[in-house]
Amino acid sequence: MCAVCWVPFSITRQNGERQLCTGMLYRDVDELCFDLKLTDTATGFGTFPRRVSIPVNELQSIELMKGWHSREWQGITLVVKTNQARSMKEMPGAQQGKVELNISPANSLLADAFVHELFLEGASSNNLAGAALEQA
pLDDT, tens digit, 9 for 90 and up, residues 108-130: 999 999 998 887 765 555 445 44
pLDDT of residue 54: 94
Q: What is the CA radius of gyration of the chain?
A: 15
Residues of the chain with pLDDT under 70: 1-4, 13-17, 68-70, 72-74, 121-136
Question: In angstroms, rounded to a whole number, what is the distance separating the alpha carbons of residues 94 and 87?
Answer: 10
Q: How far is residue 45's CA from residue 49's CA, in Å, rounded to a whole number?
A: 12
**What count of other Cβ atoms lies within 10 Å of the Cβ of residue 48?**
6
